[in-house]
Amino acid sequence: MTAYPELKLLIDGEWCDASTGATQDVINPATEEVLGTLPAASPADLDAALQSAQRGFEVWSTMSPYGRAAILVAAAQLIRARTEQIAMSVTLENGKPLAEARMEIGTVVDILEFSAEEGKRLHGRIVEGRAPGVRHHVVKEPVGVCLAITPWNFPINTVAKKLGAALGAGCSVILKASNETPASALHLVRALVDAGLPAGVVNVVFGPSAQLTNHLMSSDIVRKVSLTGSVPVGKQLAVFAAERMQRLTMELGGHAPVVVFDDVDIGKAIDLLVPGKFRNSGQICISPTRFFVQDAIYSQFVDAFTERAAAIKVGNGIEDGTMMGPLANARRLGAMDGFVADARARGATITTGGERIGNKGYFFAPTVIKDAPDDSMVMTEEPFGPLAPMTRFTTIDEVAERANALELGLASYAVTNSLDRASRIGDALQAGMVGINTVGIAIPETPFGGVKESGYGVEGGPESLEHYVVPKSIALKTVL
């Protein structure tokens, strides 16, 4: 088995420990064993990273888009060659099966290559002036030093989204990656460094999240912040950023409804939705979660979904045949127990699962909750785990209203063989992304983002790079 890598900070092109020697343990969620020790950056380390990022920006922003693209592409090639090594780190610290880790790494390669190409196309324009001899040049300049804050559930994919867009646009970055999945992020950054990224263009720090974020955002050096995290944290950072008018991109989670119409082939719907629901143990912000099933097929669909969920092999992600790994940390186990207890208290039925598996590792059984009330916790709060609450609906207008009832709007799904229903429900669902007869809604070429309290700004697509540039208008008269 590939060894878990040594964990370091990256400041001004140097891999280093924290200046104070402070560390914290990184835990394997499948075994609860310590994988390694992570340096916790001190205020002095953060100040060094800020100064380094400012110098890195001065170098990177003046490099041609083609030069920047060449480094991003070279890094993508290195990641592709190192897939097995990186996948093992992802699985060891996150818990997802190796097959899912490999898929995530493949997407990372695509993201970097896409960002490299889009960076070449951040074109400005020339506008003819209204006065004789005057032309207006609209140019797009990189915004400056960016702070990227990434989560543990997609520990290398979310890093690639933020770094790819920022670097493609000519910005430098301070990366605050998850303390629970640090090696995954470091693998990506090491590939960039090995590909020739100049010192200071990317700096990596770890440590207490609130402390680090507050320190970095208090600096006038940081001009843009990109967060993937919870709604409460996003709101706090939005207030903090307002003090310095720092730009923000925020992906703050969701609670995706799934509308299952009665004209579908139930077997095909199950084939699509069960793997989509339990991928990464349901720890996905766009995970299909609130299942609204039309009356005529409700009982049959719940029974079939239950049978398939009960057959999922749960275990250590490095073992052959594992279909679902552990939850990422012990906190998620307690959260799942709370959701299940509340559902039972409100009259719902647990048709499979509903409890922890074993007493070592953070394993929780794939769980189906039948007749979940609309006001239950699992239907109103994002569970971020392997829970599939089911409820019935009658009409399309009714289900659209119920699906849109929450103040979250990241992803929504529907399955139907009716083009009319597909069109109507696609228009009615309030979300930044909608999947009709597919759960594959996130690809590098399209925007990834939400509405309402799911945040603002996007990652993915050409639109993602626009968040990292400032349009400047230059009115030019060649002769005075």
Out of 104, 113, 180, 285, the active site residue is 285
Rounded distance, CA 16 to CA 129, Å?
Answer: 53
Q: Amino acid letter at 341?
A: A
Enter the tokens of residue 259.
Answer: 């509308």
Angle between helices 98-119 and 83-94 (to 10 degrees): 120
Q: How far is Cα of residue 171 from the mean position of the Cα atoms in its chain?
A: 20
Enter the tokens of residue 344.
Answer: 């039972």
| H, E, C per residue of 341-364 | HHHHHCCCEEEECCCECCCCCCCE
Beta pairing partners, 390: 291
Q: What is the DSSP letter of 358?
A: S
Rounded distance, CA 285 to CA 238, Å?
Answer: 20
Rounded distance, CA 366 to CA 451, Å?
Answer: 29
No. of H helices and E strands in the chain?
15, 22
Tell me the pairing of strands 134-142 and 125-128. Answer: antiparallel
Q: Is 146 an active-site residue?
A: no
Residue for token pair 């909750």: 369
Beta pairing partners, 471: 140
Out of 93, 100, 180, 251, the active site residue is 251
Q: Is 16 an active-site residue?
A: no
Rounded distance, CA 473 to CA 127, Å?
Answer: 10
Q: How far is Cα of residue 401 from the mean position of the Cα atoms in its chain?
A: 27
Q: Determine which helix (DSSP H) or strand (DSSP E) holds 456, and give its type and residue range.
A: strand 455-456
Helices (H), 122-246: 157-169, 182-194, 209-217, 231-242
SS3 448: strand
Q: Which of 348, 400, 398, 403 is nearest to 380 (CA)?
A: 403
Which residues are designated catalytic? 251, 285
